Chains A and B, each alone.
Chain A
Amino acid sequence: MSETTTTTTTDASAAPRPIIQLLEQPEAGGCCGGGSCGI
C-alpha cells in the first residue's frame, strides 16, 4: 500500500500584489456607473 503526499509551498515573492501601482495624485472627477461618484 502506498501513500501519496502532496505538499504545497508558498513563495513569498509570488504573493499577490497590485498589478497597477497608483502614482501619487489628488482626488479628481470620474465616473463609476453608480451615479454617486459624480455620474
Chain B
Amino acid sequence: MQCPWCYIGKRKFEAGVAASGVEVEVEYHSFELAPDTPVDFAGSPVDYLSERKGIPVPQVLEMLERVTGIAESVGLHYDYDSVHQTNTIKAHELLHYAKAHGLQLEMKESLLKAYFVDGGHVGRIEDLAELAAGVGLDRADVVRSLTENEYLAAVKSDVAQAAEYGIQGVPFFVIDGKYGISGAQDPDTFAGALRQVQGEKAGTETVITEETHA
C-alpha cells in the first residue's frame, strides 16, 4: 500500500498482460513492510524514512524524486507532499474484505490512488470505509468488518505464506503458485514470463497471478 514500486509495478504488470495476450486472473496478497508504524504517524514519508530508518534527508529526497519520476513515466502522478504515512493493516484487511465481495482489484487501485496521488489517509477505518463505498462496497458493513478485525487472520496468513515462499520485498508476483517475479519489472519481462508459463500449460488456460504487495 505504501511501497511506491508496487503501484508502478502494477501498471507495468498490466501493460505486460496486455502485451502478452495471455488470459490472467489476479489476486492480491498482503505483505507488511513496517507493522510498527502508528496509524496516526505525525509526519511525512521523508520524516518516516529519515527518523525511523535512519536515511539522511538528502538521500530520502533523492529516492523520492527518482521514484516519482519513474511513476510519472507510467502515467502515475505521485504527490509526496500530501502523502499520509500510516499503518496499513486495516487497508490490507479491507482488501481481503473486498476480495470476498468480488471487488478486490477495484479496491486496490482506489487505495493506491488515494495514498500516492490524492493525499488520502489509508490507515483510519472511517477513511477506508469512504474509499470502500466509492468502489461499491457497503460502507457500514466495512466499518463493522474492520472494527471486528474480521480479516486480520487472513492478512497474517498471507504474511506467513510470503515468508514461506522466501519473499523479502515487494512487489512480488507469483505465477500459478510456482514461479516468481520480483520487483517492478518492465512490461516485456512480465509478458515474456506469462507467455512462458502459458506455454507450459495445455491450450489457453487462464494463468493465475498472485501479486504480493505492501
Q: Are B53 and A22 in contact (CB under 8 A)?
A: no
**CA–CA, A22 and B6, complex, Å:** 18
> Complex formed: what's the CA distance from A14 to B182 in Å?
26
B67 touches which of A20, A35, A39 (Cβ 8 Å): A39
Q: Are A39 and B4 in contact (CB under 8 A)?
A: yes
Task: Tally inter-chain residue pairs, CB-CB below 8 A.
Answer: 93
Shortest distance between the CB of A8 and any CB in chain B (Å): 24
Q: Which residues of A contact B (CB under 8 A)?
A: 18-23, 25-39
| Across the A-B interface, the 10 shortest Cβ-Cβ residue pairs | A28-B183, A35-B53, A31-B3, A33-B33, A32-B169, A20-B180, A30-B183, A29-B5, A30-B169, A28-B185
23 A-B contact pairs sorted by A residue (CB < 8 Å): A19-B178, A20-B165, A20-B180, A21-B179, A21-B180, A22-B181, A23-B196, A25-B183, A26-B185, A26-B189, A28-B5, A28-B182, A28-B185, A29-B184, A30-B5, A30-B9, A30-B171, A30-B183, A31-B5, A32-B168, A34-B53, A36-B55, A39-B4
